[in-house]
Amino acid sequence: MPPPSAFRSPRATPTHPRIMVWARCGRRVLAALCGVILGVGLGDAALEVSDALLARVEQKYGTEARGRVETWRTLLQTAQTLPEMEKLRAVNNFFNRYIEFVDDIFHWHQEDYWATPIESLGTGGGDCEDFAIAKYFTLLALGVAEDKLRMTYVKALQLNQAHMVLTYFATPRAVPLVLDNLIPDIKPASQRNDLLPVYSFNGTGLWIAKARGEGKRVGGAERLSLWQALQARMQAPL
């Protein structure tokens, strides 16, 4: 089981406000999961990184931001033919490298904001939800089936704090793999005894976690108000 330090942002320092992020993250994720709103279906937003979009990114966020998004476009192009496990590793490594952990209250001046991949890469920062969201949409764009992917709200037991990760199910009853911004390696949930699953969701459903398996489906993702707002912005990223 990793030491408590493994759950802190590698770039955070004791004097930086980012060390306050973890407790806030869990309260906001749980509030989002409990929110109810009617709306359109989710998970159908396509990722297209055009030259025009790159120009808008540069205008809004600067040249370094454009470089990050260009690198992401290259990943979307070159990783299409990789075996699925290699896609997971490439996407996990990419976002863990190019996004810095920043709490929403300092980053977006809001208690909670679920950013699109363009917003996260444009600003170069995001919190636990944003890492999971960016990895989710990128893997969808690389052809990974949506029913294999879920954003999963967990409790980090050693810190007694909440967190969000992306989980991958090779088959419906398989032990999922965990893509996490806290550690670099993708590990089976059975090897992440430091995490307790609570809820998971994707564009088609919401599940109550059951141990470290698939869990019980309790409704549609349309119950997640923040997720729906994100979906709307995915249609017009800037």
Query: Which residue, among 146, 160, 154, 142, has the nearest Cα to 85 in the 3D structure?
Result: 142
Find the range with the poorest average confidence among 34-43, 58-67, 182-191, 225-234.
Answer: 34-43
**pTM, rounded to two decimals:** 0.77
pLDDT band at 35 (very low <50, low <70, confident <90, very high): very low
CA distance 199 to 153: 5
**Paired tokens of 67:** 């470089």
How many C-beta neighbours within 10 Å does residue 147 have?
12
User: Any idea which residue has 């709306």 for tokens?
Assistant: 39
- CB environment 177-188: b (16+ within 10 A), e (fewer): bbbbbbbeebee
How far apart are the C-alpha atoms of 206 and 152, rounded to whole Å?
10
Calpha distance 42→202 (Å, rounded): 8
Residue 55 has what pLDDT?
Answer: 96
pLDDT in tens, 118-132: 999 999 999 999 999
- The domain segmentation of the chain, as residue ranges, is 21-32+40-234
Average pLDDT, the chain: 78
**SS3 state of residue 28:** helix
pLDDT digits (tens, 9 = 90+) for 181-232: 999 999 999 999 999 988 888 877 665 554 444 555 544 444 467 777 887 8
Q: How far is CA 154 from the centre of its chain?
A: 13
Question: What distances in angstroms separate CA 44 from CA 33, 145, 201, 205, one per listed residue?
Answer: 20, 12, 14, 13
Supply the pLDDT for residue 207: 55
pLDDT given at position 212:
44
User: In b/e form, how buried is each residue of 211-229, taking b as 16+ CB within 10 angstroms?
Assistant: ebebbeeeeebbbbbbbbe
Residue 14: CB atoms within 10 A of its CB come to 6
Write the Ramachandran bin of 48: left for phi over 0, alpha for psi from -120 to 50, otherwise beta.
beta
Inter-residue contact 161 to 22 (CB < 8 Å):
yes
DSSP 81-103: TS-HHHHHHHHHHHHHHH-EE--
CATH no., domain 21-32+40-234: 3.10.620.30
Write the pLDDT tens digit of every residue in 130-180.
Answer: 999 999 999 999 999 999 999 998 988 877 878 899 999 999 889 999 999
CB-based contact 179:135 (threshold 8 Å): yes
CA–CA separation, 151 vs 83, rounded Å?
21
Strand ranges inside the chain, DSSP E: 100-101, 125-126, 149-156, 161-168, 177-179, 187-188, 195-201, 206-208, 216-219
